[in-house]
Structure 1
Amino acid sequence: MPNTVLDAINEHAEEIRALGPANESLGRLDDQTAKVLRETGAIRMLQPKTYGGLELHPREFAETIMRIAACDGATGWVAGVVGVHPWEMAMADPRVQEEVWGEDNDTWIGSPYAPMGVLRPVDGGYVFNGHWQFSSGTDHCDWLFLGAFLADKDGNRLNPPRSVHVVLPRSDYEIIEDSWDVVGLRGTGSKDIVVKDAFVPEYRVIEYSKVVDGTLAKEAGLTNPTYRLPFSAAFPLGITAAVIGICEGALAHHMAYQRHRVQITGTAVKDDPYVLYAVSEAAAEIAASRSALLDNISQLHDMVAAGREVTFDRRAVGRRTQARAAWRAVRAVDEIVARSGGNAMRMDNPIQRFWRDAHTGLAHAIHVPGSVFHAAALTQLDIEPPNGPMRSMI
C-alpha cells in the first residue's frame, strides 16, 4: 500500500524548504507550514481511523518524518513530536477523544510528558498546577498531554511516586510567549506552559504505567499492532526520525554546495580525495542510522503483531539502537560541516541551520545514552537493572 502522506510531502517539498527561514525567524512554524502539514495528513498518520486517521505502519511514519525534516528541521521535528500524540490519544477514554476530535479531526495535541505538574484530588477529579518547558509546536495545538505526579489531598506527592499524563484543553493553560530563544530548532516554537489551579476530570488522567506496559491499549480494545508498541519505542520514533532527516538534509545541502566549490588552495572539491572520502563516510553513517532506526521499529512491530511480548531487555536494546542512530548521524554531519568551508557558516547558507538543528535535536532527553546503554549492557549480561533512572526511559 503506497504511503500517500509521503507522496503528498514530496509534492510540497520545495514549499517546505522555502518556509524554513520564515519558521526560524518567527520562532514557531509559519501558519502556511502548519497548513501544509494539515493538508498532507502528516499529523494524522498514527491517528485512529475512527477519527479520520490513517493508522500507518510506524515505519511509514518514521520515513515520512525523515523526509519532512530533510526539507526543514523544525517542520520535521514538530511533525514527529505532535504526530505521535494521536497514537496515545487512541488509547484514551472515549470521552476525551470526542472532546479533542469530535468537531475537527485535524485538531493537534502537544505535550511535554516530563512530570513537572502535580495533581491534587478533589471531588470528581483533580486540581492541577505546574510549569513545563519544551512544548513543541504548541502555537498550533488546542490540547496538550502534560506529565504530572499524583498528590494526596494536601498536595504532597505520593510515595512511591505515581506518574500520569494529563489531557488539558487550551483554555486551561498559558503559553509563555518569550520562552523559546535557542540556538537550534528555533522554528519549532517549543515554548513554556503554565497551569494554575485547573480542574481536571478523572477521565482525562492516564496512568503512565499503563501506557508503558501496554495495558492501556489492551483495555481500549485496540488490535492494530501499532498501538501495542511500547511507549519507549513509539514516543522516541518521531524525534529520532526528525534528527536523522535533518542530517540527511544537511548532507544534501552540503553536496549541492560543494559540487562547484573551489577551495582556497585552488583545488576543486571534486578533485580532493580527502574531502570526497569524508563525504562518502558521512553519507554511509547517515544511511546506517536511517536503516537502524527503521529496522528496529519494524522488528518491534512484527513482534507485537505476532503476539510476542516485548521484554524489558528488548526494549533496552531498542532504545540503545535508537539513541545510537541519532548520535551516529549527527557526528557524521560534524565531519562534513568541518569540510564545508567558512561560507557554510553564513546565515543565508542552509547548511549552518541544519547543523544547529541537528545538535539541538540530539540534546533531547531521549538521546542521552548513559543510563540506556548501561541498562542494555546489563540485560545482555543477564543482570536485571535496578529500579530508578536506569529504567525510567525504557
Structure 2
Amino acid sequence: MAKFHIASPEDITAGKATDIYFIRAVEALKAAGLEDAVVRAEFHVASLPKGYKWAVYAGLKEALYALEGKPVTVYSLPEGALFGENEPLMVIEGRYVDFAVYETTVLGILRHYSSIASKAARVKKAARGKTCLFFGARVLHPAVQPMADRAAYIGGCDGVSGVLGAEMLSKRPSGTMPHALMIIFRALKGDHAQAWIWFDKTAPPDVPRIVLADTFLDEREESLMAARLLGERLWGVRLDTPGSRRGDMLKIAREVRWALDLAGYKDVKIVVSGGLDEEEVARLAEVADAFGVGTSIAFPPSVDISMDIVEVKVGGEWMPITKRGKLPGFKQVYDCGGKHIVAPWRDPPPRCPDGSTARPLMKKYMEGGKIVERMPDEDEIRQYVLRQLEAVEL
C-alpha cells in the first residue's frame, strides 16, 4: 500500500500519469493499422478566468522534460510569456501513438503552473512595486510545494517561504515567525515579547528582523513594543490579524504607520499577511511595504488550457483539421509591442501598426525528443514576466 499517493518522476516520464481513454485510443489505432498517423496537436487557451485580461505561460521546462526522449518535435512560446484567450501556447508534432498518453501530463503541468504564475503576477502587479512573498506551502500537499513555489516565483513573487522550494530555486526561504512562538513564551515565561528578543538572538544576521505584532494586544501597541525593544535592529512588523478581529485592515495599517512615525520609528516597515488577494493588496499598497500571500495564489482560478489536433499528415502533405469550435491549422504567435497576432504558420510575418515586422514568439524547443533550445533559469523568466507586467493593466 502506498504511503504517499504521488507520482514519481519515473511514473511521469513513463506516461503512467494519464487518463485511461488515451491508452485505449492508442490500442484502437494500432489495431486499425493507423499507428503511423502523424499529427500536430496544439495546446491553446480555451478561456481565461473571469476578470482576467491576460495570463502567464509557465511550466514549459517540466513539460519538455516529460516528453524528453520521445520521438516528437515541440514548438512553444517562451516560458513566462503573457498570453490572452484563443492563443496557441505549444504544439507537439509526431506520431499520435507516441505522445497520446502524455496529453494528461502536459496539460496538468501547463494548467497548474500557468494558473499559479498568473495569480502571482496579478498580486505583484497590484502591489505597485512593493515586496510580495509566497506563503502558500502550508495549504498544499507537500509533493507539489516546490512546484507551486517555482510557479509563484516565476509569476513575480519576490520570495517563497517553502524550504524545499526555495532550495530548488537556489534561494533563501523568506519568512518571519509563527504565532506559536509568542504563545509558548507567554505561557512559560509570562512575556510574549521575549519571543522577539530570542528570535533576534538566534536568527542569522542577514535575516530581516520582522516580528508578528498582533498575537495578544492591539496591533499598534505591539508594534510600538517591538520597536522599543529591538530598536534599529527591527526591520518591520507583520500584521496577520485573524478575520474574527480584523475589521478594516487598511485602517489598522494606517493606525500602526501613524503611531510608528509619531514615535520616531519611520524606518520600521509594515508587512501584511492573511487572506489576501490582488484586490486587497491593491488597497493596502497605500500603506503596507510588503505582503505575504498564500491561499489565493496556491489555489487560483484555473486557466483553461486544452489540447486539440489541428493538422494531420495525409499523403505527405499537412491537412488542417480539427473538431468544430476550434481553429484548424498550425499557427504562429507574433508580438507587436506587447500585442499578439495569431496567424497561419506558413503566412509571412504581419506588419505592426508602426510599420515594423511582427516578432515571432513560437519556436522549436524539441526535435526528435531532444531539447534544442536553451532553457532560461527562473530569475530570467521572472524578469521577463515583470517587464511585460509594466505594459499591462489588471
Structure 1 or 2: more strand by fraction: 2
TM-score for both structures, normalised by structure 1? 0.25
Higher relative contact order (CA 8 A, sep 6+): 2
If you compute each CA radius of gyration, which structure gives the higher value, 1 or 2?
Answer: 2
Structure 1 or 2: more helix by fraction: 1
TM-score for both structures, normalised by structure 2? 0.25
